[in-house]
Amino acid sequence: MATVMAGNGAAAWGFRLSRVQCYPYYPITPSTSCSQQISRWVYDGAMGAVTINAESEHSAASQIIAAGKNVRAGTATSSKGLLYMIEVLENAAGGAIPCGLFIGNRATGAPINIWADHSDAYAMRDSGLIQIFAADGQESLDSIIQGYRIAEDLRVRMPFAVNLRGFTGTHAYEGVEIPSQEEVDRYLPPFVPLYSLFAPEKPVTYGAMLSAYPYRRHKRNQMAAIGNAAEIALKAGKDFAEKFGRSYGHFEWIGDRKAELVVALLGESAAAGEVATRHLQGKEGIPGVALLKIRLFSPFPAREIAQALNRAGTKAVIVFDEGLQHGGVLPPLAQRITAAVHLHLGGKGPKIASVIGGLGGSEVRQEHFQLMFNLAANIAEGKPYRPEPYWLDIDEDPIFVEQENQVSPKLWKKWGEIWKKQPRQEKYCAPIPPDTEEIRIYSRAGQGAITSAVGFTGAGIENGYRLVTVPAFGSERRGAIITTDTLINFHKERRIRSFMRAWDVVILYDDTILYSPEHRVLDGLKEGGALLVNTSHMSVKKIRGLLDAGEGRVRIFTAPAAAVSEGLGLKHINMPMLGALHKVYDKVPFDKALGYYERNVPRPREASLEAIRRGHAETTDQEIQRTRKERRLLVSQDFLDWRPEDHSQESWPSALEEVQIG
Amino acid sequence: MKEEQRTLVSPNRHKEFVVTGELVEIRDRAHAGETEKKGQPEDKTGKRLSPPEILTIEEVARQPVDGIDTAKALSAMADIGPEARLFVYRPEGQAVRYEVFEDPRVCPEVHRGAVIENLKEKPRDVSGWRTHDFFIDLKGCLGDECGRCAIVCPENAIHLRGKGKGSFHEIDPLACKGCFICWVECVRTAADCILVDGKTFDPGMRAKHFGE
């Protein structure tokens, strides 16, 4: 039975089920809620561990190393926090101390940016850690459990890091299967320290200074040890599949077995790539396509990847990197794949081009993968291509250029010959028809939109659908307009967690959003889709007039959520809006969902449940006469007469008076 | 008010970890709940949970390991070659877990993870490093009443000989690197106690070291 939780929550379960005994941490966006959840469990006594509130990431890393000598230790971090840890983490790798890190991948400054890319993981690349890239919450939970098994193996004894893309991975709420503690205990043996803690009769020194002769020999051994991790990861993945039914390897090959065109990438963005690959598979005039989703980044399974490409008869590989190697020839993943192909296949290998995208929280969408497959097809046909990275979504420097005047003359002088020979092919770039149903909520931060969307997701998952909710983060300011998106996937066997951005339902938690010049709420709404507005005084007709949309374009519903919540003494309007959503969108049946809500609504439970029911009942697409209750601020004469020179305690005007009219 | 105590879940069968507020106390499982016994400290060396052993093929061949199929382990190790190691975990004398593996860290000088087992380190002759010879005159030394030089010596080159009134300190001439620390730190300011090149007092040297 899947439980709805965010990627960070799943990672916390990974640490809990691995029976982590020491968890020092220093919180940083976007991995904070993982540490928060663990420290809550430790406080409640649900998890037998010691958490330490470290004074910095540097200390947290030092503490996991100190603890990792004798107990199972772990921590979570991101971005600059990880960069601050690197100085210490090299000691864990060199000192053969197995410990675990969960990393919510985030950009590194400057400019400061809290959103996702792989810059931090790439910065850690040469610190000697085993690096695993997970694509969703479930994979990060499973990878942490497997990570301890790999890291503690006697042939390895190395720290490991599980990476998950920030926000789209760490804050995406979806169904996660939590294995039972007994099952995990059978899979993961207890930690065995190699030296006793405090043994006066056999004292040892960790991190001693070594001169060149023993140092170089030790470093060679360290490389051999991390090299062993590849083979052990494969075995750990196979055992995991036997026990839990979810299989993991070095990489996942999604698409055709014989694939001429391949896009290789790491981690979560594969969700969008998967949709594009499945769409292009078997289309007329398109050769075999596949997505190479690499899971084990360090140690890099070079031989296996080269062999897989060789076996599939691949002609062109596009390597998609969400990070840079400043001053390097190619970004890190592209460089590793190029080296692998060159060393293991020599001249027979496929041609490799590099694309950089998804930086600093940039969306990685299906159409980007369509462009990449198009580029791969051109390269496979023998067209010239750039010997340096292409960029995604840069208007001044696109992948395909139709006319010369589209780019600057300087750029045209440099790449014009290549652009002229690289056609944009319609069969690759035609829009993908939507296969899922999607709901978007516009709300103001603090209104509880995420809580209600997560509730809806839980109810949907319990009823056997696959739902994902991804909230937008960033405008961390109460009252700012934010979006929360939910995807409903009716294919039981197929995993889809990438949004088409074609909304079936758009919900406004506040009617003033209709006036926002920045938010055109009908953008992206499907023809004939539904718009649900929380309003106490606007009529359907008025909303239709404001949006200038006909009956065929949009069905409009209104819900008096504020009045319902006020009547029940609730602070938030999210519960009535949850009920209203079920009225507008009935694919997740309300009566079945109520069973889930009865067990899971936030406190006060009775009032919240009643609010959901009333919200459902009172939502309508009809014109109804509401008693007009208008509030206006009246300014008293005292206030207008007041001058700064009169300012004193006694003469302070009682300025604002609230008067009801009507 | 006494703070609430709770015990951590731990696979360790000998020790338990008791958390009181922010403090973690480690105590024997057998003594759980009892207050600590006063009096003679117990010799716990034998009782401590012993770490696992990692044995080479020669060591296993020389001394069969109790509780495991040594012949099978040996043949598995022979297949791997000289890098084969046998991991045996005997927390209470009985093998609860064992495993044959190929050690990626084969270098004999450097232990796994650059860990140095301190008692296995052999003392080195550093007498060539020093430019002056140091000697403690037992007439001036306060013996076990003081012991400051033995504490401050960075090389553990100074040892106490004897007991009580007749005790005195002695410098190991092979281990002394001539750093002057004992001479500076001596509670008797090295007057008729530590001889440098046979001299008890040298105004030039004092000026150099104390800035007098």
pLDDT value of position A230 = 95
Q: Which of B37, B38, B3, B39 lies closest to B22 in space, CA to CA?
A: B3
Kindly tell me if the per-residue pLDDT of A657 is higher than 60.
no
Q: Poorest-confidence range of A96-105, A251-260, A384-393, B144-153? A: B144-153
Average pLDDT over residues A350-355: 96
Kindly tell me if the per-residue pLDDT of A660 is higher than 50.
no
Average pLDDT over residues A480-488: 92
pLDDT value of position A476 = 64
User: How far is residue A640 from each of residues A120, A637, A655, A659, B157, measured CA to CA in Å?
Assistant: 57, 5, 9, 18, 89
DSSP state of A431: P
Average pLDDT over residues A305-327: 95
Look at A555 and A446; give whichever has higher pLDDT: A555
Average pLDDT over residues A44-53: 92
**Is B116 within 8 Å of A21 when comparing Cβ atoms?**
no
Residue recorded with tokens 């969960």: A102
Kindly tell me if the per-residue pLDDT of A479 is higher than 50.
yes
Instruction: State in Å, rounded, how far the first CA of chain B is from the last one.
Output: 57
Kindly tell me if the per-residue pLDDT of A198 is higher than 60.
yes
- Are A562 and A436 in contact by the 8 Å Cβ rule? The answer is no
DSSP state of A278: H
Look at B96 and A186; give whichever has higher pLDDT: A186
Pairing of strands A251-255, A289-294: antiparallel
Angle, nearest 10°, between helix axes A212-244 and A137-151?
130
pLDDT value of position B210 = 66
Of all helices (H) and strands (E), which one includes residue B97?
strand B97-102
C-alpha–C-alpha distance, residues A269 and A363, integer Å: 9
* Cβ contacts of A94 on chain B, cutoff 8 Å: 113-114
pLDDT over 90, % of chain A: 71
pLDDT value of position A630 = 57
Q: How far is CA A610 from the centre of its chain?
A: 33
Average pLDDT over residues A168-195: 93
Kindly tell me if the per-residue pLDDT of B209 is higher than 50.
yes
**Is B112 within 8 Å of A204 when comparing Cβ atoms?**
no
Number of other CB atoms surrounding residue A83 within 10 Å: 17
pLDDT value of position A226 = 93
pLDDT tens digits along A124-164: 999 999 999 999 999 999 999 999 999 999 999 999 999 99
Which member of B48, B49, B116 has the closest CB to residue A205?
B116
Q: Which of B4, B5, B7, B9 to mutate to test the interface with A (most CBs of A within 10 A)?
A: B9
pLDDT tens digits along A498-508: 998 899 999 99
ipTM, interface predicted TM-score of the complex: 0.71
pLDDT tens digits along A623-639: 776 665 656 666 677 77
pLDDT tens digits along A571-594: 889 999 999 999 999 889 999 999
Tokens at A48, concatenated: 């037998």
Domain ranges of chain B: 53-120, 127-210
Average pLDDT over residues A75-98: 94
pLDDT value of position A453 = 94
- Mean pLDDT of all residues in chain A? 90
What architecture does CATH give domain B127-210?
2-Layer Sandwich (3.30)
**Is A154 within 8 Å of B106 when comparing Cβ atoms?**
no
C-alpha–C-alpha distance, residues A289 and B91, integer Å: 54
Kindly tell me if the per-residue pLDDT of A656 is higher than 60.
no
Phi, psi dihedrals of residue A635, rounded to the nearest 5°: -105, 125
Kindly tell me if the per-residue pLDDT of B17 is higher than 90.
no
Of all helices (H) and strands (E), which one includes residue A163?
strand A160-165
pLDDT tens digits along B125-135: 888 888 888 99
DSSP state of A322: S
Confidence of residue A58 (pLDDT cuts 50, 70, 90): very high
Kindly tell me if the per-residue pLDDT of A662 is higher than 50.
no
Tokens at A274, concatenated: 């998967």
Look at B170 and B93; give whichever has higher pLDDT: B170
Kindly tell me if the per-residue pLDDT of A653 is higher than 70.
no
Q: Which of A77, A61, A228 lies closest to A157 in space, CA to CA?
A: A228
pLDDT value of position A87 = 94
- The CA-based angle A508-A509-A515, given to 5 degrees, is 55
* Cβ contacts of B44 on chain A, cutoff 8 Å: none
Of all helices (H) and strands (E), which one includes residue A592?
helix A590-600
Phi, psi dihedrals of residue A269, rounded to the nearest 5°: -60, -15
Cα nearest neighbour of A212 on chain B: B110
* Cβ contacts of A190 on chain B, cutoff 8 Å: 11
Which regions of A503-636 does DSSP assign to beta strands (E)?
503-508, 525-534, 554-559, 630-635
Q: What is the CA radius of gyration of chain A?
A: 28
Confidence of residue A90 (pLDDT cuts 50, 70, 90): very high
Look at A594 and A402; give whichever has higher pLDDT: A594
Kindly tell me if the per-residue pLDDT of B32 is higher than 60.
no
pLDDT value of position A5 = 93
Domains of chain A (ranges; CATH) run: 2-199+206-244 (3.40.50.970), 251-429 (3.40.50.920), 437-618 (3.40.920.10), 630-661 (no CATH)
Residue pairs spanning A and B at CB distance below 8 A: 104
Confidence of residue B83 (pLDDT cuts 50, 70, 90): confident
3-state SS, residue A351: strand
pLDDT value of position B1 = 52
Kindly tell me if the per-residue pLDDT of A207 is higher than 50.
yes
Of all helices (H) and strands (E), which one includes residue A215?
helix A212-244
**Is B106 within 8 Å of A221 when comparing Cβ atoms?**
yes
Q: Which of A18, A194, A228 to mutate to test the interface with B (most CBs of B within 10 A)?
A: A194
Q: Which residues contact A615 (CB under 8 A, 6 or more apart)?
A: A559, A561, A564, A575, A576, A577, A578, A579, A580, A583
* Cβ contacts of B112 on chain A, cutoff 8 Å: 96, 157, 194
**Is A206 within 8 Å of B118 when comparing Cβ atoms?**
no
Which member of A21, A45, A195 has the closest CB to residue B6?
A45
* Cβ contacts of B87 on chain A, cutoff 8 Å: 154
Kindly tell me if the per-residue pLDDT of A645 is higher than 60.
yes
Q: Which of A305, A297, A189 lies closest to A236 in space, CA to CA?
A: A189
Tokens at A451, concatenated: 């809580």
Confidence of residue A457 (pLDDT cuts 50, 70, 90): very high
pLDDT value of position B36 = 47
Q: Which of A305, A227, A226 lies closest to A266 in space, CA to CA?
A: A305
Closest approach of chain B CAs to the CA of A589, in angstroms? 43
Q: Which of A72, A181, A218, A226 to mutate to test the interface with B (most CBs of B within 10 A)?
A: A218
Interface of A with B (CB under 8 A): 19, 21, 45, 48-50, 94-97, 153-157, 189-196, 199, 201-208, 210, 213-214, 217-218, 220-222, 224-225, 227-228
**Is B54 within 8 Å of A206 when comparing Cβ atoms?**
no
**Is B99 within 8 Å of A154 when comparing Cβ atoms?**
yes
- Are A25 and A35 in contact by the 8 Å Cβ rule? The answer is yes
Tokens at B205, concatenated: 């040297």
Kindly tell me if the per-residue pLDDT of A378 is higher than 60.
yes
C-alpha–C-alpha distance, residues A487 and B188, integer Å: 82
C-alpha–C-alpha distance, residues B68 and B90, integer Å: 11
